[in-house]
Amino acid sequence: MLEPKGYCTKAQIEDYLLVDIVDDFEGRVDEWIAQMEKYVEQETGRIFIADSEANERVYDGEGGLNLFLEESVEITKVTIDDVEVASDDYLTYPANEMPKTRIKLKDDSGLLFTKGEQNIEIEGKWGYSVACPADVSFATMIFVVGIVNFSGEMEGEVKTEKIGGYQVTFKDKTSWQDLERAKEILVRNALIVI
């Protein structure tokens, strides 16, 4: 069973639905939250809550001063050909923003990301941000609300749509507008690969 990362909470779902989730149902809701977090990550190509502990990834060196990498909120260690680089010999970019997606060796360091296969090791906290952005949290919550609605009995005229591997159901116009807004949020937050 997947554990939720924190993209949304049961309290947000309860507030939106104006109901209390019964204790026996909480485990199921946690599973749905975790599944929708995974769906959001797959659809956007982003991990919105970074790792809390640093871990290592390897890269191929290209022989230059720059190394492009996955989104990270913190770089804790850079190693080239099994030799650790001092933290004052490199900079992370973009300079005043998160997430970091590039490491540049300083011009006066005398270092290069030497050419080679998997010869560069970067230790960092990988992901887009420390806390989930509010709009992505809203989108995740709306997807879970739709699953909760589908699992219950709604009277009257309802519409159902597939999101990931789940069916979501909404009854009123406002809820369907929220679902459309949630899908737009994913498009807006998708990682653009050039």
Q: Could you tell me if 65 and 108 lie in one domain?
A: yes
State which of 91, 107, 126 marks the end of a domain.
126
Q: What is the reported pLDDT for 14?
A: 95
* pLDDT tier for residue 142 given thresholds of 50, 70 and 90: very high
Q: Could you tell me if 122 and 64 lie in one domain?
A: yes
Q: Which residues contact 30 (CB under 8 A, 6 or more apart)?
A: 3, 4, 10
What is the phi/psi pair of residue 178, to 5°?
-65, -40
Q: What is the reported pLDDT for 5?
A: 96
pTM of the predicted model as reported, rounded to 2 decimal places: 0.88
Q: Which residues contact 166 (CB under 8 A, 6 or more apart)?
A: 32, 35, 36, 143, 146, 147, 150
Would residue 4 count as lying in a domain? no
Nearest to 100 by CA among 109, 112, 108, 91: 91
- Whether 158 shows a pLDDT value over 80: the answer reads no
* pLDDT tier for residue 155 given thresholds of 50, 70 and 90: low
Would residue 5 count as lying in a domain? no
Q: What is the reported pLDDT for 170?
A: 86
Helix axes 134-151, 173-189, angle to 10 degrees: 140
Would residue 1 count as lying in a domain? no
Average the pLDDT over 103-117 and give the result. Answer: 97
Q: What is the reported pLDDT for 156?
A: 61
Q: Could you tell me if 64 and 42 lie in one domain?
A: no
Would residue 30 count as lying in a domain? yes
**Structural domains of the chain, count:** 2
**E strand segments, 51-158:** 55-61, 66-80, 83-85, 90-93, 100-105, 116-126
Domain range spanning residue 85?
55-126
Would residue 2 count as lying in a domain? no
